Amino acid sequence: MSHHRPLHYAQDNVALMFKAAAARYSHRPATRVRVGDEGAVWDIATYRELDERVTQIACALLRQGITAGDRVGIYARNRPEWTQADLACQYIGAVPVPIYATNTSEQAAHIAGDCQMVAAFAGSAQETATMIEAATSVPSLRLIVSMDPCDDDPRHGTAWDGEFCWLADFAPAGEPADTALATEVDARLASATGDDLYSIIYTSGTTGEPKGVMLAHRAMIAEFRALDEMFDIGPAEHSLCFLPLSHALERAWTAYLWAHGCMNTYVTDTRSIAELMPLARPTMVVAVPKLYETIMTMAREQAAGSRLRKRLFDWSIGVGARVQAAYNNGEYPRLRDQVKLLVADRLVLSKIRGAIGGPKKMLVSGGAPLPREAALFFGAAGLQILNGYGMTEAAPLISFNSHSHWQRGSVGRVMSGGRLRIGPENEILYTGPNLMDGYWGDEEATDRAFWIDEDGTRWLRTGDAGRINHKGYLFITDRLKDIIVTKGGKNIAPSPSRRCFRPIPCSSRRSCWATTGRS
């Protein structure tokens, strides 16, 4: 459990939270991305530099007449500019609306039209072209800003006649922000509250059009406080921005990092993740099961090169698994297994940790069920994968396991401030301070999403069946409705984690806290 001094979240507002972090951690690295030919070097921005860039973009939005409450789209893959645009909107009270970079122009047009989007940021040339195509059927969308420059005007040959510009021209990075506009940005921030709309995130099940989940700033801050109670995270930690930022989990996690002055490394191409992990060496990772499965498969394929290597690999995994199984059962491993672990760790297990970028303070899996085989594989190497449960309508946290509070087979205990109950058909119902305000422009769908008890309390209907044991741990038993769960994981229902992880002896030290990153 965390023992650090609790943070003060000013006005329960994410933008004000970031401004406080930018002042407190001004010279700490905030964003990092691999750039140059074949990603030759790191491009790093400090918290002060990020704040300055965000202010420049916020001023440019004001110059274009964007007002508080206006919906502004972000249609791009993960990159520092995604965060810059996100925060710039928050600085002036506009409402960011993420759009998955894999969405078609028709899907993007539906989202933009439904929320009456007035402006949008787009990433690559292809994403810009798709957004412009979508804009042709959205009368309210009058401005598109492209993060990447290109030689030609992408409006040529299209029916859209709105305003278009490159981000470098829209908000020149080398120029100081306009004084009058910067003053207006400060004034907007000063009036920000927790009731302001933080974002509209579109999500859907297997049927019907996507629905816009309205999340207030206070909902985000509520779950940040809940995480603070269970995890002790400081500015020395750094994370990997792997899941799409349009994903509710990655978006919330990225914002949570700002409060603690952490660095975030952006994965612009998920195909390069295996090569990037050892280079980035993040101490925290929030990812989908596919990442862990890929690393496990690559390790097994490398070991399959010879019969001797494969036998040694399997033997080492077996040793690590037996040691962790003993700890899981509240026992100390046998002395001979402890001795064998020294050898297994030097020859195999330490290399598994190296493949995922070294020991981890926190390793999280979300978006889809994590195969038991993958949990056991990484567990054998001393890497605890934490799982939780949630959905976008809960911003997205409902329950989670932590290093100090876990139970085998569960998806953790309800977040602090929240409550769980089991309703008809064993449906999991949740209420808490991080609930959505409702679906944008759809009161009927909002009403269907909640069950109201005899006291008038709104309980979110998750569509999943489960049970809660006497210690308060939640177990998912079935799905009551079909939900699309992509690799990006629009709805989160991770599978159970292992129960307990203890320090495992390493070849270089008498004991190594491989699961927490302390050695």
Output phi, psi for 518, to 5 deg: -100, 130
Q: What is the pLDDT of residue 507?
A: 31
Q: What is the pLDDT of residue 488?
A: 40
Mean pLDDT, residues 162-168 taken together: 95
Residue by residue, DSSP assigns 73-117 as EEE--S-HHHHHHHHHHHHTT-EEEEE-TT--HHHHHHHHHHTT-
Cβ-based burial of 267 (10 A; exposed 0-12, middle 13-18, buried ≥19): buried
Instruction: Return the exposure string of 476-496: e unless at least 16 CB atoms fall within 10 Å of the residue's CB, then b.
Output: beeebeebebeebbbbbbbbb
- Under a CB-based contact definition with an 8 Å cutoff, are residues 447 and 484 in contact? no
> How far apart, in Å, are the Cα atoms of 381 and each of 97, 313, 377, 408, 504?
40, 11, 7, 18, 8
Q: What is the pLDDT of residue 40?
A: 78
Fold of 10-192+233-285: Rossmann fold (3.40.50)
pTM, rounded to two decimals: 0.89
CA–CA distance, 199 with 210 (Å, rounded to integer): 15
Residue by residue, DSSP assigns 207-229 as SS--EEEEEEHHHHHHHHHHHHH
Q: Does 7 have pLDDT greater than 90?
A: no
pLDDT tens-place string over residues 419-444: 999 999 999 999 999 999 999 999 99
Tell which wins on pLDDT, 206 or 463: 463
* Residue labelled with tokens 């998920």: 270
Domain boundaries, the chain: 10-192+233-285, 288-380, 404-479
- Under a CB-based contact definition with an 8 Å cutoff, are residues 383 and 352 in contact? yes
Q: Does 207 have pLDDT greater than 70?
A: no
The CATH classification of domain 404-479, taken from the options 3.40.50.300, 3.30.70.20, 2.30.38.10, 3.30.830.10: 2.30.38.10
DSSP strand pairing (397-400 vs 413-414):
antiparallel
Looking at the chain, the whole-number percentage of residues with pLDDT higher than 90 is 69
Mean pLDDT, residues 153-169 taken together: 90
Output phi, psi for 272, to 5 deg: -95, 10
- Under a CB-based contact definition with an 8 Å cutoff, are residues 164 and 154 in contact? yes
Half-sphere exposure of 387 (CA within 13 A, CB side): 29
Q: Does 515 have pLDDT greater than 60?
A: no
Per-residue confidence band for 3, with pLDDT thresholds at 50, 70 and 90:
very low
Half-sphere exposure of 139 (CA within 13 A, CB side): 0
Q: Does 206 have pLDDT greater than 60?
A: no
pLDDT tens-place string over residues 241-280: 999 999 899 999 999 999 999 999 999 998 888 888 899 9
| Average pLDDT, rounded, for the chain | 88
Poorest-pLDDT segment among 15-24, 101-110, 301-310: 301-310
pLDDT tens-place string over residues 338-361: 999 999 999 999 999 998 999 999
Mean pLDDT, residues 211-224 taken together: 97
- Under a CB-based contact definition with an 8 Å cutoff, are residues 432 and 497 in contact? no
- Under a CB-based contact definition with an 8 Å cutoff, are residues 298 and 355 in contact? yes
pLDDT tens-place string over residues 103-140: 999 999 999 999 999 999 999 999 999 999 999 999 99
Cα dihedral 100, 104, 108, 110 sign = negative
Per-residue confidence band for 369, with pLDDT thresholds at 50, 70 and 90:
low
